[in-house]
Structure formats: C-alpha cells, structure tokens
Amino acid sequence: MKKKFLSYAICWLILLALFHVVVFATPNEIGGVSKFVGGFWVGYGFTLAAFLGQLACAWFACKANDSRKLFYRLSPVAISSITLVLIAVVAILCMTIPQIPAWIAAIVCSILSAFVAISVLMAKSAAEVVSKMDEKIAASTSRMKELTAKASVLMANAQTPELKAETKKVYEALRYSDPMSNEGLSEIEAKIASKLEDFERLVVAKSQSEAATAATELLALVNERAAKCKLLK
C-alpha cells in the first residue's frame, strides 16, 4: 500500500507544483489591474482544497488490502480527479481575469465542490456495499469450494481406473453443484462432508466395491442438496 500511495503522491506533488507555476508565473498585473483581487484567492483556496480532497481519496483507495477492493475504491478517485481538473480550470480563469467578481468565483467553485463531495460519498458507500456483498458471497461459497477441491485431489490420487472413475463422478457432481450456501443447507452439507471423508478412506484403502457404494450415497446427498437449493431460492 505504501508503494502505491508513494508513487501517486509523487505525481500529485508534480501536478500541485505545476499548478503553482501556472498561477504565480503569470504577470501580477493583467490589463493594468492586479490579479490578486477579485476571485484570485477564492479560486486558489478552492483548488488547494480540491487537491487535498483528491489526495485523501487516493489514500483511501490505496488502503485496500487486495486488488478487488482497490478496484471498487477507484470510483471516488476518478470522480475527485475529474472535479479537480474542472475546479483548477475555473480557478485559473478567476485568478488570471481580475474582472471576474469574487462572488461568482465562490459560487461556481462551491457548486463544483458540493458536487464532488456528494459524488465521492455516494461512490464510497456503493463501494463498501459491494465489497461487503463480495465478502458474504465468498464466505457462502467457501464450504462447497473446499469440498470440491478435496474431491479433485482425491481423483488425482486414485490408484486404479475403477476408483478414478468413481472419484471423477463425485468431483464433477460437486464441481457443478450450486456453490452458494446458507443456514438451511448446513445439515445436508455436513452429511456430504462426512460421507466424503468416508469415501476418501475407502479410496485410499482401494476398497473398490465399498468405495462405489459410498460414491453412490455421496451423489445422492449432492442431488438432495441441489433440490433443497432450488426450494430455498
């Protein structure tokens, strides 16, 4: 996270320095009028605030501990970046055209600032909701993924063609079953897990007939779970 933010902060400092060069390198008087009147300081203040707000959004995004969360948090960064450009353009116009009244600069910059604040808050809330949904889905599918992975390893380690055929049936049944789980399926899933352990012991012991029987019982449990999944949806 520190490396991501450090790279971004360097770019941010370069743009901030460029903004100050554009603002203060222009003549102090334009058309015989000092540029430090009118909307100059209003535009300057709003632009600095926009820069700081954009940096805060980037910090929030870089705090993500995985790429998926980082992706969800990029929306506030994008919104704040676009609005920063708009505010900077308006501010530079206000700072280089002394004839623009301060109240006009204040109103325009306030509207843009309010827009970005509301948009960023909404994007942040949406990102948090989606992230929580992903976490919930990951937790709900973890048990079936674990059973499928176990069946895959068992199929790879089967010692005879007959046992490999039985393990393949079990693996494919688990692989193509609905991965979503809930409390209503906990009992049947516990039975599947227990039966899979029995099946594993029989495959390791090379008990062909008993393993075939266990596989049939296991497939019946998987089908029963599939029926319950449909009822619970």
Reduce the DSSP state of residue 34 to 3 states and report it.
strand
Which of 165, 161, 150 shows the shortest CA–CA distance to 201?
A: 150
Sign of CA dihedral 130, 133, 139, 140: negative
The pLDDT score that the predictor gives to residue 180 is 74
The pLDDT score that the predictor gives to residue 137 is 57
The pLDDT score that the predictor gives to residue 91 is 78
What are the start-end ranges of the H helices in 63-207?
A: 67-72, 74-96, 102-157, 161-175, 186-204
Per-residue pLDDT tens digits of the chain, which is 233 residues long: 567 778 888 888 998 888 888 777 777 665 556 667 767 788 888 888 888 888 888 887 777 666 666 666 677 777 777 877 888 888 777 777 777 777 887 888 888 888 878 877 777 777 676 666 666 655 556 778 888 888 888 888 888 888 888 889 888 888 888 777 777 777 888 888 888 888 888 888 888 888 888 889 888 988 888 888 777 66
Domain boundaries, the chain: 2-136, 158-232
Q: Residue 180 has what DSSP assignment?
A: -
Answer whether 80's CB lies under 8 Å from 57's CB: yes
Parallel, antiparallel, or unpaired for β 29-30 and 33-34? antiparallel
Helix (H) or strand (E) holding 93: helix 74-96
Which of 125, 122, 45 shows the shortest CA–CA distance to 79?
A: 122
